[in-house]
Amino acid sequence: MIGFLPGLAVRLIILAGLAYPAGTGAARLAAAPLDVLAMTFNVQQPAGTDWEGRRERAASIIAKEKPDFLGTQEAVAAQRDFLGARNPGYAWFGVGRDGGDNGEGSWIFYRSDRFRVDSLRSGNFWLSNTPGVPSRLGGSYNRLCTYARLIEKSTGRGLYVFNAHFYMPDQTDYRLASARMLAKAVTERAVAADPVVVTGDFNSPETDTVTHWYKHGTDNPFRLRDSYRDFDPNGAVTTGFGVKLDYIYVPDAPGYATTKAWVITDPAGASDHMPTASALRITAGDPVQVRAGSGGQSARAATPELPDRFRADGRKEGIPSRQVWQAGRQDLTAAP
């Protein structure tokens, strides 16, 4: 399911060449880096958790941080809709773990002024032996991964976001099986040249078997790096319960730089997890474009300065709003 909600306009300048037909003598020009602010947030389901008392705090985090995209976990449809209503300018993508709007979802929010969803190459799969239907390997609840191929409107370039909520910490075998499924799906995404970011509550501390497999597994076809640790390799950190369970992963490959990363602690009490954010500069998967009149010589666009909000000492900018409403449907069995 794709849902669209009233919008905020954001100005992030991405330099790109214009495409011309082959044989015009135009030079090839690679697009400039893609600067995005990613966030992951386990909102905490509403039953017995004082959602009414904490919901404004949860919504205010999104309004304050202004991520370009946000992977959420545990939110049911009513929570999803509340967060969207309080944060105009974001659209959401996904389904509930029990199908449709039923149960908790791994909803992906994104800025609808900057991105659209490539619905044919986006979807959901369950972390089970029957990934095309609501299901689970074991435990009490279905487990789900939602993925969206976001298309930047100004350039047409694609970016995959995979977002998941794994099995409980004591269910290591299920979590490891889920990690293998997710790595396979990322590896087999339809547009392999597109960059990818993986967000989620993986219920896996930093010293856990699953975290180690993601980063170092010899049979992992798609090793990942924790973007937070790219920025702060050794500092003590918790995202809840005294450990780090929530991650924004990038491929362990060139082309992904973290210019800033932080755990969001203010306001306190928005959830039993603290959301995390990472400012990413992505050069992996740059589409090669062409520029007329440069004598056929290869050239690369000059690297732009980082926006202020992506700097380690940067400030957040105020952003004006506009109104956008649309609706759509999602094929539950679409391939990555």
- pLDDT tens string 105-124: 999 999 999 999 999 999 99
d(CA 262, CA 246): 12
pLDDT in tens, 272-325: 999 999 999 999 974 433 223 333 333 333 445 555 655 554 433 332 222 222
Q: What is the pLDDT of residue 169?
A: 97
d(CA 336, CA 326): 23
Judge contact between 67 and 98, C-beta under 8 A: no
Whether the pLDDT of residue 262 is over 90: the answer is yes
User: Tokens in use for 68?
Assistant: 């370009």
Whether the pLDDT of residue 330 is over 80: the answer is no
Q: What is the pLDDT of residue 306?
A: 58
Q: 183: closest CA among 145, 209, 146, 221?
A: 221
Name beta bridge partners: 247. Answer: 200
Whether the pLDDT of residue 126 is over 50: the answer is yes
The predicted model gives 255-278 an average pLDDT of 98
Q: What is the pLDDT of residue 38?
A: 98
pLDDT in tens, 68-81: 999 999 999 999 99
Whether the pLDDT of residue 194 is over 80: the answer is yes
Judge contact between 198 and 186, C-beta under 8 A: yes
Judge contact between 276 and 40, C-beta under 8 A: yes
Second CATH level (architecture) for the domain 2-10+33-307: 4-Layer Sandwich (3.60)
Residue 308 has what DSSP assignment?
G
Q: What is the pLDDT of residue 307?
A: 58
Average pLDDT, the chain: 83
